[in-house]
Amino acid sequence: MSWKLIFEDNFDKPTIDLAKWSYDTGNHGFGNNELQYYTTREENIYIENSNLVIKALKEDYLGSPYTSGKLWTKGHFSFTYGYVEVKARLPKGKGIWPAIWMMPENIEVHGKWPSCGEIDIMELVGHEPNTIYGTIHYGLPHTYHGGKYCLEQGSFADDYHVFGLEWDKEGIRWYVDGKLYHEENYWFTKKQDGSLVENFPAPFNKDFYLIINLAVGGRWPGYPDETTVFPQEFIIDYVRFYQKR
């Protein structure tokens, strides 16, 4: 199989490349009762030693008890089918929630979330620092399926790992350090009344863009407690997208 590199960021410029990324900001909980305020400040998101660093801080900021950062390629780059690879070192601690995920460029096609589809390349809940999850969300009623990968030793905070996702019209496959750990090849998209919007492989047959963020708190990871150490850093070495030649 031959792949062509169509997008990459090695974070080797002194500042975030705004021709490739935009910031998502605010403190509205992002649908998960999260506690952080996403900012554009260099205290929270910056380039250092050819790495993108997203730093979660415990501080009062515009009504929120924590700050952090979130970037996406929305409006800059999106694609249908291919292989995504992100090399990163993850944070840890109760209530810490780093994520690499994808959403459709045109969210209205299948009637907003969840019927529009969501692809989670990598998520970690900080009280399980040796385990990452890959998941898809879709359909009405909301349906999700996925898998997980557990390190035999240590945690994902100890060193860099490569998180990969291969996506085509036949299925979606998740990788860690080149090792396949999960595959999905069935999903659907429906309206609230149960009628079919579009046959398989919808909704995962449209352009999706990439999102990288570090959340604090939320219904799934829970919330920080006295054991959680701040600051926490989500460090990304590179992002690459490939498509078949």
| Active-site annotation, residues | 118, 123
R_g of the chain computed on alpha carbons: 17
Distances in whole angstroms, Cα of residue 213 to Cα of each of 23, 87, 108, 182: 10, 14, 23, 23
DSSP-assigned letter for residue 224: -
Distances in whole angstroms, Cα of residue 124 to Cα of each of 64, 76, 80, 93, 148: 22, 26, 25, 10, 10
Q: How many CB atoms sit inside 10 A of residue 184's CB?
A: 19
